[in-house]
Amino acid sequence: MAKKVILITGASSGIGMNAAIELAKQGHIVYGAARRLDKLNNLKEYGVIPVELDVTVKQQCVDVVTKIISEQHKIDVLYNNAGYGLYGAVEDIPIEDAKKQFDVNLFGLAQMTKLVLPYMREKNSGRIINTSSVGGKITTPLAAWYHASKFAVEGFSDTLRMEVKPFNIDIILIEPGLIKTDFYDITVKQIKKYSITGAYKKLAQADVNTLSNVSKGGLMGGSDPSVITKAVSKAVNDKKPKTRYLTGRLAKFGVFTKRILSDRIYDTMTLRQMANTKK
C-alpha cells in the first residue's frame, strides 16, 4: 500500500476521528483538523498530526494547506468531513443560523477543495472525499437546512467530478445512514432549542424520540462508525474507488423506499414512523 498524505477535517470525534486513526494505523501520513486542538490530543498516540482549523475561516484554511505542502510537498487525499446538523422547523430557525449551516457544510468544504486542487493538478493525481449523508438523497421533518446542505454537497461533488477528471483526480462521496455518533445528541439539542415549544412541538417531540433512539438498538438504532471507516479506507486505498459509498443502517433501504414510493406515501410513512417511536 502506497503511503499517502491525507488531510481530514472534522477529526475531533465520530467518523472523522475513527477514519484518522485507521488511516494512520495503515501507515499513511494523516493530518487531523478541528476547531479545537485539545480535542485532537488523543490522536497523537496513533501518529496523527493535529492541526487547528475552522473551515469557515479562510486564512486558517490557507495556513493548514500551506503547512502540509511545506512539510510533505503534496496532499494526496483531502477528506472533507467537517459538518453538523441544524435541526428545527423552517419557521423557527433564523436565516442567519441557516447560512452558518451552509458555511460549514458546503462553503467550508468548497474552500478546502479549491485550495488543494492546484497541487493535485500539478501532480496529476489526487482524491477528494466528501462526507455527504443519506440525508443528501432523502428527507425527514425538522431538518430542512441540513438536508439542503447535503443535497448541495451531492450536486457540488457530482459536478466537480466531471471537471477534474482530465487531471486524474477522483471525487468521492461518503453517504452514511444512521451511525452511532454524538451527531444525534447535538441535533436533539438543536430541536429543543428551536422547536420543542410552539406550533411544531408535537412533531419536535416525535423527532427527539426518534433521534434519541439512533444510539440504541432496534430498527432505528445506528450502525457502528466502523462501517464508515471501512468505506473511507476503500475510498483512499482502492485503485479504482467508487464515486459514492452509501452505507450504514437504513441507508440503502431509505434511498430505495424514496425511489419507489410517491412523495405523499413517503411523507405519510416517515411521519407515522416518527409518531410511533417511543423515547
Instruction: Walk me through the domains of the chain, giving residue ranges and CATH numbers.
Output: 5-183+223-250 (3.40.50.720)
| Rounded Cα distance, 190 and 32, in Å | 26
Candidates 12, 149, 195, 223; catalytic one: 12
Of the chain, the percentage scoring pLDDT greater than 90 comes to 86
Instruction: Answer yes or no: 150 catalytic.
Output: yes
Cα-Cα end-to-end distance for the chain: 46
* Tens of pLDDT, residues 147-170: 999 999 999 999 999 999 999 999
Instruction: Answer yes or no: 132 catalytic.
Output: yes
* Tens of pLDDT, residues 63-110: 999 999 999 999 999 999 999 999 999 999 999 999 999 999 999 999
Sheet holding 5-8, edge to edge: 49-52, 29-34, 5-8, 77-80, 126-131, 169-176, 244-247
Give whole-number Cα distances, 85 to 88, 105, 147, in Å: 10, 9, 9
| Residue 272, burial from CB neighbour count under 10 angstroms (0-12, 13-18, 19+) | exposed
* Tens of pLDDT, residues 212-269: 877 565 556 788 889 999 999 999 999 999 999 999 988 999 999 999 999 999 999 9
Candidates 150, 157, 184, 195; catalytic one: 150
β-pair partners for 31: 7, 49
Candidates 31, 79, 146, 184; catalytic one: 146
pLDDT at 23 > cutoff 80: yes
Candidates 4, 31, 79, 132; catalytic one: 132
Instruction: Answer yes or no: 146 catalytic.
Output: yes
Instruction: Answer yes or no: 12 catalytic.
Output: yes
Report CA torsion sign: 149, 242, 110, 178: positive
Res 75: pLDDT = 98
Find the angle CA(16)-CA(22)-CA(23) to the nearest 5 degrees: 85
